[in-house]
Amino acid sequence: MGRLAVLVGTCLLLPSSLGADNQAIAPAIATKPPVELSLPELEPPAIDDTPEAIVPGEHVRLDTPSGPVHLWWPEGYDAATAVTIVYVHGYWVDVDDAWLQHGLPEQFGAAAVNALFVAPEAPVTKWDDVNWRSLTRLLETVGHELALPRGPVIALGHSGAFRTLAEWVRDSRLDTLVMFDSGYGSMVPFRDWARASPKHRMITVGDDTREWTSYLNHWLGTKVTLDITDVGDPTVRARIASERLVHIKSSIGHMTLVTGASALPSVLRMLATPLPIE
């Protein structure tokens, strides 16, 4: 490969909470202050909910001019029928720390779906520039190293990822958007993207952002509203599989959504075909 890449196996320890408290997210991008900001110390969190089975997979880390990009695909992966799921982390953690502290490969493995997972670098604070303004450029970068699946492209972003997602809704490569408690800032770009094509699918998860995502879904006329605990039920997921607009309400906590080892895998199962697990 043309860039530094490290191939590793998936470990089986699953963290569940971030050491640093969730920080407030301002809707607007402020002017960068003269003082230098430092990231909080991240301690390995305690395991809170370990899934019964985690599908192992392969992991490659790419070094790019726009920051690291992690790639992960499960055992049994079939590129001919797979989808691409791009996971964008939120503020106060970079992608390398999110990969480990949030147990992303374990959660991807717990989802047990046929997908290529892509986790790029994203802003760590509201003063940082968006690393990947073009989803197409990110996919082309990945495609130089690994053949992309033929299926849809899905972007799932948590918290401060809203700034990256707001750029990507202008990109024709985006098929499905999952706002995973990332309904900050203006909802207009997301509303307009959902309305632009009957082929655009949007799933919103609102915990800290429940008020804003509820307004967004009111504008869109979303007819399917669930609780995050319902999404773990396979019969519920099957019933809403063809729904284009889905709103999911949560009260489990902004960070627990991405570190609790239950909500994220359950939502991921809404997005791709299950792996044939023996």
Residues in the chain: 278
Residue 12 confidence (pLDDT):
35
Cβ 134 vs Cβ 91: under 8 Å: no
Q: Return the SS3 of 161.
A: helix
When pLDDT is averaged across residues 211-230 and rounded to a whole number, the result is 95
Closest to 157 in 3D by CA, of 141, 140, 139, 174:
174
When pLDDT is averaged across residues 201-224 and rounded to a whole number, the result is 95
Distances (CA, A) of 144 to 2, 27, 155, 176: 8, 35, 20, 23
**Model pTM score:** 0.82
For the chain, the average pLDDT equals 85
Q: How far is CA 190 from the centre of its chain?
A: 16
Cβ 120 vs Cβ 145: under 8 Å: no
Answer yes or no: is pLDDT of 254 > 70.
yes
Share of the chain above pLDDT 70, in %: 81
**Cβ burial 175-213 (10 Å sphere, 16+ → b, else e):** bbbbbbbbbbbebebbbebbeeeeebbbbbbbbbbbebb
Cβ 55 vs Cβ 109: under 8 Å: yes
Residue 259 confidence (pLDDT):
93
Instruction: Tell me the β-bridge partners of 115.
Output: 83
Please give the Cα distance from 278 to 276 (Å, whole number).
Answer: 6
Q: Which residue has the higher pLDDT, 39 or 249?
A: 249
When pLDDT is averaged across residues 255-278 and rounded to a whole number, the result is 91
- Residues 95-128 pLDDT 10s: 999 999 999 999 999 999 999 999 999 999 999 9
When pLDDT is averaged across residues 179-196 and rounded to a whole number, the result is 96
Q: How far is CA 193 from the centre of its chain?
A: 18
Could you name the CATH architecture of 56-268?
A: 3-Layer(aba) Sandwich (3.40)
Residue 261 confidence (pLDDT):
84
